[in-house]
Amino acid sequence: MLTRRHGRADITPLSPFREFQDLYDRLDRLISATMGEMVFPRETTTPWVPFADVCETEDSFVVEADLPGVTRDQIDVQLTDRELIITGEVKEEERDARMHRRTRRTGEFEFRTMLPGEINADQVDAKLRDGVLTVTIPKAQAAKPRHIQVST
């Protein structure tokens, strides 16, 4: 498995297929913004990846995923070992009008990340506020840094 390192402790699995899908989605949005409509039909079987930040504090790992227009009933958060998986689906609204431009994402979404340290899975907290899902995963007691007094 390939990994991508963004910082000292941030390791995320690199999936070439997921990277190509993200590139395809960005190109699709660019063409749609330029031409005013969807030129390439979006595959409904491949989930899109929401934009997200993964950061580490002294006590926990924090994941913030952008999910505008998504309700908490449309989100599923799972933690398996050290892998955080956020999935769900944004239903497309039925309209009685002809669509001229479409840039908002609909359909199934999925975000996965491997957390770079030991975690306390029993105290995970997930909150959705203003279209941002914030998942806080506390570090295991053994993974927290300890201050060691230096003596002479």
Q: What's the confidence (pLDDT) of residue 42?
A: 52
Distance CA 9, CA 3 (A): 12
Taking only the tens place, the pLDDT of each residue in 53-85 is: 999 999 999 999 999 989 999 999 999 989 999
Q: Give 150's contacts (C-beta < 8 A, 6+ positions apart).
A: none
- Provide CATH code, domain 2-93+101-141: 2.60.40.790
Does 44 score more than 90 pLDDT?
no
Q: What's the confidence (pLDDT) of residue 148?
A: 80
Q: Where are the domains of the chain?
A: 2-93+101-141
**pTM of the model as a whole:** 0.66
Distance CA 19, CA 4 (A): 11
Does 22 score more than 80 pLDDT?
no
CA distances from 13 to 2, 16, 60, 85, 101 (A): 6, 10, 20, 12, 34
104 and 92 Cβ atoms separated by less than 8 Å: no
What is the distance of C-alpha 91 from the center of its chain? 18
Q: What's the confidence (pLDDT) of residue 6?
A: 54
